[in-house]
Structure 1
Amino acid sequence: MPNLRFVGGIAWMAVTIAGCGAAITPSSAKAPMPSEPTLINFVDPSVVQGLSTRTLFSGETGKRHVHAVYPAVPGAPRLTEKLHGTVREELDGFTRHGAPANALPKPEFNVDWQLAAASPEVLGVRLRIGHSMESGWSEARTTVWYDRVKGRALDSADLLTDRPALVTLAGIVRSELRLRGPLVTPNALRPDREMFDSLGFNPRGDLVVEFDDEQVGLGVAGRVAVAVPSATAAPLLSEIGLRAQRAAVQAKKTPAPTSREEIKAASTDKPPARSFMAGSVDCAKLRCVALTYDDGPGPETARLLDVLRAHGARATFFTLGSNASARPDLLRRMRDEGHLVANHTWSHRDLTMLPPTKIADQLTRAQHAVAQIIGQVPTLMRPPYGDSDIQVATVAGRLNMAVVRWNVDPEDRWDPDPRAIADRTVARAEPGAIVLLHDSHPATVDAAPEILRRLSEAGYTFVTVPELYGSREMVPGRTYDSGGVSTAPDR
Structure 2
Amino acid sequence: MPNLRFIGGIAWMAVTIAGCGAATPPSAQTPMPSEPTLINYVDPSVVQGLNTRTLFSGETGNRHVHAVYPAVADAPRLTEKLHGIVSEELDRFTRHGAPALPKPEFNVDWQLAAASPEVLGVRLRIGRSMESGWNESRTTVWYDRTKRRALDSADLLTGRPALVTLAGVVRGELALRGPLVTPNALRPDREMFDSLGFNPRGDLVVEFDDEQVGLGVAGRVAVAVPSATAAPLLSELGLRAQRAAVRAKRVPVPTSQEEIEAASTDKPPARSSKAGSVDCAKLRCVALTYDDGPGPETSRLLDTLRAHGARATFFSIGSNASARPDLLRRMRDEGHLVANHTWSHRDLTMLPSSKIADQLTRAQHTIAQTLGQVPALMRPPYGDSDIQVAAIAGRLNMAVVRWNVDSEDRQDADPQAIADRTVTRAEPGAIVLLHDSHPATVDAAPEILRRLSAAGYTFVTVPELYGSGEMVPGRIYESGGVSTALDR
TM, length-normalised to structure 1? 0.94
Give the deviation of 1:269 after TM superposition: 2.4
Give the deviation of 1:262 after TM superposition: 4.3
Structure 1 residues 271 and 350, CA gap change in structure 2 (3 angstroms): same
Give the deviation of 1:14 after TM superposition: 7.8
In the alignment, residue 198 of structure 1 is paired with which amino acid?
A: S
CA-to-aligned-CA distance 1:247-288 (integer Å, 9 cap, x gap): 000123333335677445422321000001101100000000
Taking the aligned partners of 1:156 and 1:262, their CA distance within structure 2 comes to 37
Question: Does 2:382 align with 1:381?
Answer: no
Q: Structure 1 runs of 4+ off > 6 angstroms?
A: none
Contact 1:14 1:113 in 2 (8 A): no
Give the deviation of 1:29 after TM superposition: 1.5
User: Residue 242 of structure 1 corresponds to which residue in structure 2?
Assistant: 239
Taking the aligned partners of 2:254 and 2:230, their CA distance within structure 1 comes to 30
Question: Does 2:123 align with 1:138?
Answer: no
User: Residue 20 of structure 2 corresponds to which residue in structure 1?
Assistant: none
Query: What is the DSSP-based 3-state SS (H/G/I as helix, E as strand, rest coil) of the residue aligned with 2:249?
Result: coil
Q: How does 1:337-348 map to 2 (within 5 A)?
A: 337-348=334-345
CA-to-aligned-CA distance 1:59-105 (integer Å, 9 cap, x gap): 000110000000000110000000000000100110111101xx342
Query: What is the DSSP-based 3-state SS (H/G/I as helix, E as strand, rest coil) of the residue aligned with 1:413?
Result: coil
User: Residue 73 of structure 2 corresponds to which residue in structure 1?
Assistant: 74
What fraction of aligned residue pairs are identical, expressed as a percent? 89
Structure 1 residues 431 and 298, CA gap change in structure 2 (3 angstroms): same
Contact 1:418 1:443 in 2 (8 A): yes
Question: Does 2:381 align with 1:392?
Answer: no
Query: What is the DSSP-based 3-state SS (H/G/I as helix, E as strand, rest coil) of the residue aligned with 2:295?
Result: coil
In the alignment, residue 61 of structure 1 is paired with which amino acid?
A: T
CA-to-aligned-CA distance 1:281-331 (integer Å, 9 cap, x gap): 000000000000000000000000000000000000000000000000000
Taking the aligned partners of 2:33 and 2:56, their CA distance within structure 1 comes to 37
Taking the aligned partners of 2:319 and 2:259, their CA distance within structure 1 comes to 18
Contact 1:43 1:254 in 2 (8 A): no
User: Residue 92 of structure 1 corresponds to which residue in structure 2?
Assistant: 91
User: Residue 311 of structure 2 corresponds to which residue in structure 1?
Assistant: 314
Taking the aligned partners of 1:353 and 1:365, their CA distance within structure 2 comes to 18
Structure 1 residues 12 and 127, CA gap change in structure 2 (3 angstroms): farther
User: Residue 5 of structure 1 corresponds to which residue in structure 2?
Assistant: none
Contact 1:11 1:346 in 2 (8 A): no
2:146 to 126, 144, 149: 149
Question: Does 2:291 align with 1:294?
Answer: yes
Contact 2:289 2:432 in 1 (8 A): yes
User: Residue 48 of structure 1 corresponds to which residue in structure 2?
Assistant: 47
Query: What is the DSSP-based 3-state SS (H/G/I as helix, E as strand, rest coil) of the residue aligned with 2:93?
Result: helix
Structure 2: 5+ residue stretches without partners = 1-9, 18-25
Contact 1:350 1:383 in 2 (8 A): yes
Structure 1: 5+ residue stretches without partners = 1-9, 18-26
Taking the aligned partners of 2:216 and 2:482, their CA distance within structure 1 comes to 43
User: Residue 162 of structure 1 corresponds to which residue in structure 2?
Assistant: 159
Taking the aligned partners of 1:194 and 1:272, their CA distance within structure 2 comes to 47
Contact 1:260 1:364 in 2 (8 A): no
Taking the aligned partners of 2:169 and 2:226, their CA distance within structure 1 comes to 11
Structure 1 residues 43 and 176, CA gap change in structure 2 (3 angstroms): same
Q: Could you say what the CA RMSD is over the residues aligned between the two structures, in angstroms?
A: 1.6
Taking the aligned partners of 2:182 and 2:256, their CA distance within structure 1 comes to 31
CA-to-aligned-CA distance 1:169-196 (integer Å, 9 cap, x gap): 0000000001101111101000000000
Taking the aligned partners of 1:391 and 1:434, their CA distance within structure 2 comes to 23
Query: What is the DSSP-based 3-state SS (H/G/I as helix, E as strand, rest coil) of the residue aligned with 2:322?
Result: helix
1:269 to 246, 266, 271: 266
Structure 1 residues 58 and 264, CA gap change in structure 2 (3 angstroms): farther
In the alignment, residue 159 of structure 1 is paired with which amino acid?
A: L
Contact 2:328 2:370 in 1 (8 A): yes
Contact 1:123 1:146 in 2 (8 A): yes
Question: Does 2:438 align with 1:441?
Answer: yes
Contact 1:263 1:365 in 2 (8 A): no
CA-to-aligned-CA distance 1:203-262 (integer Å, 9 cap, x gap): 010000000000011111111100001010000000000000000001233333356774
User: Residue 7 of structure 2 corresponds to which residue in structure 1?
Assistant: none
Contact 1:198 1:211 in 2 (8 A): yes
CA-to-aligned-CA distance 1:37-64 (integer Å, 9 cap, x gap): 1111100000001110000000000110
In the alignment, residue 59 of structure 2 is paired with which amino acid?
A: E
CA-to-aligned-CA distance 1:399-428 (integer Å, 9 cap, x gap): 000000000001011100000000000000
Give the deviation of 1:151 after TM superposition: 0.2
Contact 1:199 1:208 in 2 (8 A): yes
Contact 2:16 2:248 in 1 (8 A): no
Give the deviation of 1:201 after TM superposition: 0.2
In the alignment, residue 225 of structure 1 is paired with which amino acid?
A: A
Question: Does 2:15 align with 1:15?
Answer: yes
User: Residue 3 of structure 1 corresponds to which residue in structure 2?
Assistant: none
Taking the aligned partners of 2:334 and 2:70, their CA distance within structure 1 comes to 26
User: Residue 423 of structure 2 corresponds to which residue in structure 1?
Assistant: 426
Contact 1:14 1:44 in 2 (8 A): no
TM, length-normalised to structure 2? 0.94
Contact 1:121 1:148 in 2 (8 A): yes
Contact 2:348 2:384 in 1 (8 A): yes
CA-to-aligned-CA distance 1:368-412 (integer Å, 9 cap, x gap): 000000000000000000000011000000000000000000101
User: Residue 178 of structure 1 corresponds to which residue in structure 2?
Assistant: 175
User: Residue 118 of structure 1 corresponds to which residue in structure 2?
Assistant: 115
Structure 1 residues 260 and 148, CA gap change in structure 2 (3 angstroms): farther
User: Residue 60 of structure 2 corresponds to which residue in structure 1?
Assistant: 61
User: Residue 462 of structure 1 corresponds to which residue in structure 2?
Assistant: 459
In the alignment, residue 95 of structure 2 is paired with which amino acid?
A: R
Question: Does 2:401 align with 1:404?
Answer: yes
User: Residue 38 of structure 1 corresponds to which residue in structure 2?
Assistant: 37
Query: What is the DSSP-based 3-state SS (H/G/I as helix, E as strand, rest coil) of the residue aligned with 1:72?
Result: strand
2:368 to 361, 366, 371: 371
Contact 2:67 2:108 in 1 (8 A): yes
Query: What is the DSSP-based 3-state SS (H/G/I as helix, E as strand, rest coil) of the residue aligned with 1:65?
Result: strand
User: Quick check: 141-150 or 253-262, which moved more?
Assistant: 253-262
Query: What is the DSSP-based 3-state SS (H/G/I as helix, E as strand, rest coil) of the residue aligned with 1:414?
Result: coil
User: Residue 474 of structure 2 corresponds to which residue in structure 1?
Assistant: 477
Question: Does 2:105 align with 1:108?
Answer: yes
